[in-house]
Each structure stands twice: as C-alpha cells, then as structure tokens.
Amino acid sequence: MTSTVHYTGDLRTTCTHLQSQSAFETDAPVDNNGKGERFSPTDLMATSLAACMITVMGIKARTMGFDLNDVRIEVLKKMKADPRRVGGIDLTFHIPAALQEVDEKTKIILKNTGETCPVIKSIHPDIEVNIDWGAWK
C-alpha cells in the first residue's frame, strides 16, 4: 500500500503516506460545500503535476551537475461543470536569476524532462495543460 485516506467528517480527510507516516488534511472547496481551508482533492491533482515536473527535472539537473533550488511554480486549476471536473491546469515557472543563463540545450533537456513526467502522462487528454516557462521561453 502507498497511503491511507481517513474521512474525518465535515468534508475533510486525513491522508497518510505509509512509508514515512507524513500526513496532510484535505477539505472540500468553498464552491462545493466545503470550507476551503485545506487543499481539495482536485487542488492536489493540479499541484501534483507541478511537483512531479520539478522533481524529475531536479533529478535530471542533478545528473547534469547542478540543482534547481528556488525554482517556483504557480499552479492554477480550472474547473468545469457537467460533469464537475478539472478542465485545465496552468503552470507558471519562476526561474531564479542563477538559472536563467543556462544554455539552450540544457533548457530544452529540462523542459522535455518536465513535459514527460509520470503525472502529465497520466492526465486525461481532455484536460488542457498550459505551461509558461517564464525566463526559459
């Protein structure tokens, strides 16, 4: 098993990673009867894309002899109705000054690595994913 999810009432869950025992809570979003005080399950879906991309890019950067410290990704989840679902995910990369000057070949390698991460390959093709690479355009 990977994790457990415990419904704690009031539209909240506690999710526990079994290997590490780290845990976090979720909450239903305000627009779906919740309080919006924690990540919603669909927030986690969109956020996991950014986390996966930067993780595999970090692995690739490490093999190339540097790190991606302080790269930040803004995540915007777009919902659709009928049926209610995630319809789009917009990611905006913020590249720190120290990494803005990497050569074009390295940028291409890292971007391709991110764009082929396991989560992006698992997202349904009806979900529109837009990536703004910021300084690496």
Which sequence spans correspond to the domains of the chain? 1-39, 40-136
Phi-psi region of 12 (alpha: psi -120 to 50; beta: other; left: phi over 0): beta
Grade residue 137 by pLDDT with cuts at 50, 70 and 90: confident
Homologous superfamily (CATH) for 40-136: K homology (KH) domain (3.30.300.20)
Q: Using a pLDDT cut of 70, give the percent of the chain over it.
A: 100
pLDDT surpasses 90 at 127: yes
Grade residue 10 by pLDDT with cuts at 50, 70 and 90: very high
